[in-house]
Amino acid sequence: MLSQTQVDLIRNSAERLADANVAATNAFYANLFKVAPGIRNLFSEDMFEQSEKLWNTIVKVVESASNLTEIEAELKALGARHVKYGAEPAHYIVVTDVLIQTISTLMNKEWTDETRVAWKTALEAVCATMLEGAAQHAT
């Protein structure tokens, strides 16, 4: 559960990133494939559409940050679809770390530890919900 301050920190940083959305997602995938080269082949060659979808999900998460249960069903379905993409639980930790690292680089001087904790809390909740959906899908 995010505090109102954390919701505000996430919203403010997302606003800063809005102009850089293409750069942000490109940087994210470049960092991700550097850290975890093994998962590159799970994705298609052309990452453009993929980047847009990821960004749209982040926007949704930011919009629902004060009440993530609002998008719970959607996140569970997203997690269930990820089973067939080949996503494994350990990958989610890498994705969370790389997303935070990418956002922190783009935010530069405006990045604080409090902002890091806010994003980490939100993304961990998102990943946990996706993984719940993935587990339900598997049974």
- Report the interface residues with ligand HEM, using CB under 6 A: 39, 42-44, 50, 53-54, 57, 78, 81-82, 85, 87, 91-92, 95, 123, 126-127, 130
Residue 27: name the closest of 90, 105, 87, 97 by CA.
Answer: 105
- Looking at the Cβ atoms of 9 and 99, the one nearer to ligand HEM is 99
Q: How far is the CB of 45 from ligand HEM (least distance, A)?
A: 9
The runs of H, that is alpha helices, within the chain are 4-18, 21-35, 48-63, 72-85, 89-107, 113-138
How many CB atoms are closer than 10 A to CB 70? 13
- Looking at the Cβ atoms of 18 and 42, the one nearer to ligand HEM is 42
Rounded distance between C-alpha atoms, residue 115 and residue 47, angstroms: 28
Rounded distance between C-alpha atoms, residue 133 and residue 136, angstroms: 5
Q: How far is the CB of 108 from ligand HEM (least distance, A)?
A: 22
- Looking at the Cβ atoms of 92 and 106, the one nearer to ligand HEM is 92
Q: How far is the CB of 37 from ligand HEM (least distance, A)?
A: 12
Q: How far is the CB of 24 from ligand HEM (least distance, A)?
A: 13
Burial label for 28, CB within 10 Å (0-12, 13-18, 19+), is buried
- Looking at the Cβ atoms of 46 and 109, the one nearer to ligand HEM is 46
